[in-house]
Structure 1
């Protein structure tokens, strides 16, 4: 399997090179040359597999000959060895609703499912190549801590995580800033997540800088993350369908950066019988507006109770746009150039009809989020995080839809307290965080400032090619 850019400016690369490249050198996102098709027989055979075995089956055609089968199996087993539930992503009945619990990893958020795998994958590839990697990423909350947990202490990797100062939850911040391994650096930028993400993309687009300092990506711009997140859609389907390939399932997906819902879209294109993908956003509703109007227009970033979704420019939207525009890289490049200039992108009537076949969308404000959290607790005694509440509210008219529970509620106990008057018990991985010493830098949301900081720091290490 080879990978190409959504913008058409690179020669095809294999899976291993795509993982290490992260963002394509032409500024686009990497995608497979073709999407494997899953047969009805495969769906039946996969329905009862344990999560790790299912992951190997789904990933193998995307990986191709970049990794031997036994290595794929070993890396997956190692990636999920420290999850605290044997099913990795179990379904949980909450009242009349099925929740797909994605928070049983080491940082109690769905990002662990991809980033524990990516950490093991990076480590293997770098060892094979006798090389080093300097990871640069931006986080709106959970990606940073999950990425750090995936690579902390790994000898061949340094990681620099940017996050918006004062715009993530206290626990989310502590999960990053209390890690004292020398290969971990956290940087609070004085701006929004979109500012942090823009800086990352700017530095990755500087090919000379990226090459000299061997920059790699862990954000959902890295294809390996999308691939890992696709697995739990198949897993959930298998648990509710009994392996019947005619059984269709809907999913409600809280999303800000479009990565999680794009993984569902990928699963559907592969052949998973998905009825509806319900795209749920908070007040920062650029994606909902796009689905409902066909206009993708950036606005102001609002701070909400679901901070991981406080995003206006969704990184993975470009991947979906590529398929929406009939896999025409020139059209994608033109559309995004216009967006950069005008801050808006408009699709035609035919394309808008396709969007409405692919997604249903709903924006949920803070008052609706709190009401959903309270209703679930009052009815069942079960705590949900505000992001999960956004997804559940969006799925109100779809009682059979499986809702993705994206983070442990204790990561957002301030919101839980407001909604329920109670606090969710802390999982073991979060206990004691608020009492640990922290380490971080606070810098301006300026690409040149961040570039200089990385350069100064990395010039004092040997983890790049002279």
Structure 2
């Protein structure tokens, strides 16, 4: 059965490949599947499969206008030797939970799980729809999406990629990964502003009709590598299904037994993928939405009001330093009864007044979620305690989820349900913060970033990832910086419009 995609803000309809190619609907809405398909393989069958095989069984249900050959080819090209482990997403048991390690790809963050396949999905989609224009990937990043997208699209024929990031809002390793990126079709730009400014600017460029015409005249069209693109969201569903299948294969759970999923959350895409997995029939009990001190999502789940009118806090988990969680719109659409008018009205209120409030009927449909947040000292304390108790080292984002999971257990009494924590980045990506959490002496400015990487390697007894080694002496290739209202000029200059 074909699955079509609708905009969250109108009755616009697209096939899967069209939705991937466009990235964002012309009305500014996000594409969502008309229905969430049910898994058509048993959990037992899935437990015997490789990651690539599970990926096919999940993604074929959503990307229904792709042929079997096309989809399997995309999967084979994505999940290959660029990952440093054959299982792609291994589970590590530590401290009474299972950490789903999503950082074994080329850029050592969970964004690799989707951005390794997105270029292949996009190029296939372009061919299927006889696209006659080069694709310009336009992306805002809070640190990880940018590098993963750059790595995926660098020197891919028929594409260009422009990444905007908050100049002072990412870790030194994250920034070095981006500004050293090779590829004649790549551009990396730091903006004076935060991630929300970058994300808002990108959305404005997508809806700029004059710019769209200028680009079309020159043979270009925009698409997105952010999680607003359904081609990012669908691959993320896979690793929750795979994690459950592996737990079943290892005898940690029985078929049908429910698990919890704890997810460090900023833009809401990662936990939304877990929500979709649950609605496909994966036995998930609670979706534990973990925020850092930018706790706009915690407040939303607590009160039903989403309010971005607050101070923006720079934390040691920068990929979660977000006050406008774009993918929440997809959940709002669902709990509003798939009503685009209601969704559009709420999104207009958010862009205008900076807040909206859902109805009590909508709030009742959020029972799948538990929300909480962790302060900096709580996340640092979790890194230190887990290392001292088990020898296992986690990054700052994963630590937020782990600390919130502790709060979940304390407040609900649910200490028996096996819980998977999405480990979204390698600790090496945030070596300074991680090492400082383990021992405050490492917070001293005398320690260089790569000295801390080497110290972390000794401490954790883990080799420095290749993704970090290769930037140790790499030359900076991207030095552009702009104001948040200068993004359009940057794009026009790069494309020579």
The answer to whether TM tops 0.5 is yes
- Matched residue of 1:120: which SS? helix
CA deviation after TM superposition for structure 1 residue 95, in Å: 3.3
Separation of aligned partners in 1, 2:57 and 2:372:
33
Partner of 1:324: 335
> Which of 118-127 and 107-116 deviates more?
118-127
- The normalised TM-score by structure 2 is 0.89
1:113-160 CA-to-partner distances (Å, cap 9, x unmatched) read 000000222233345635410010000010000000111111211000
Give the Å deviation of 1:244.
4.5
Equivalent residue for 2:493, pick from 443, 456, 459:
456
Indicate the SS of the match to 2:63. Answer: helix
Partner-residue secondary structure (3-state), 2:482: strand
Corresponding position of 2:481: 442
* Partners of 1:280 and 1:362 within 8 A in 2: yes
Question: CA–CA distance in 2 between the matches of 1:326 and 1:239?
Answer: 34
Partners of 2:133 and 2:221 within 8 A in 1: no
Corresponding residue of 1:314: 325
TM-score (ref. length: structure 1): 0.94
Q: In the TM superposition, what is the alpha-carbon distance from 1:349 to its structure 2 partner? A: 2.1
Secondary structure at the residue paired with 1:435? coil
Equivalent position to 1:184, from 183, 186, 189: 186
Is this contact kept in 2: 1:247–1:273, CA < 8 A? Answer: yes
Cα distance in 2 for residues equivalent to 1:55 and 1:146: 19
3-state SS, counterpart of residue 88 of structure 2: coil
Q: 1:56-455 residue pairs with structure 2 within 5 A?
A: 56-65=56-65, 67-81=66-80, 82-126=82-126, 129=130, 131-210=133-212, 212=216, 213-242=220-249, 244-298=254-308, 299-355=310-366, 357-396=367-406, 397=409, 399=415, 400-421=418-439, 423-425=455-457, 426-438=464-476, 439-446=478-485, 449-455=486-492
Output one character per residue of 1:290-324: Cα deviation in whole Å (capped at 9) or x when no partner. 00111110022110010000000001010000001
Q: CA deviation at 1:42?
A: 2.8
Structure 1 Cα separation of the partners of residues 127 and 151 of structure 2: 19
Please say if residues 20 and 125 of structure 2, whose CA atoms lie closer than 8 Å, have aligned partners that are also in contact.
Answer: no
Task: Tell me the distance in 2 between the aligned counterparts of 1:182 and 1:315.
Answer: 30
1:246: how far off? 2.0
Q: Deviations over 1:223-269 (max 9, x none)?
A: 01110000011011111234844211101000100000000111111
State the Cα deviation string for residues 52-98 of structure 1 (Å, max 9, x = none): 01111111121112x21012111101101111111111111113221
Residue equivalent to 1:464: none
CA contact (8 A) 2:90 2:100 kept: yes
Q: Is the 8 A contact 1:56 1:73 kept in 2?
A: yes
Q: Are 1:44 and 1:245, in contact at CA under 8 Å, matched by a contact in 2?
A: yes
Runs of 4+ in 1 over 6 A off after TM superposition: none
CA–CA separation in structure 2 for the residues paired with 1:98 and 1:159:
36
RMSD: 1.5
> Would the aligned equivalents of 1:241 and 1:247 in 2 still touch at CA under 8 Å?
no
Uncovered stretches (5+) of structure 1, i.e. residues with no partner = 461-466
Unaligned runs of 5+ in 2: 440-451, 458-463
Tell me the secondary structure at the aligned position of residue 100 of structure 1: strand
Q: Do the aligned residues in 2 keep the contact of 1:138 with 1:161 (CA within 8 Å)?
A: yes
State the 1:209 CA deviation.
2.2
d(CA) in 2 for partners of 1:125, 1:278: 34
Asked whether the equivalents of residues 89 and 232 of structure 1 are also in contact (C-alpha less than 8 Å), the reply is yes
Corresponding residue for 2:460?
Answer: none
* 8 Å contact from structure 2 (residues 271, 287) kept in 1: yes
CA distance in 2, matches of 1:317, 1:210: 26
- Residue matched to 1:463: none
Distance 1:325 1:389, change over 3 A: same
How far apart are 1:15 and its partner, in Å?
1.0
CA contact (8 A) 2:44 2:248 kept: no
Residue by residue, what CA displacement relative to the aligned partner does 1:313-369 show, whole Å, maximum 9, x if unpaired?
0010100000011111111111111222221111222222222x1200111110001
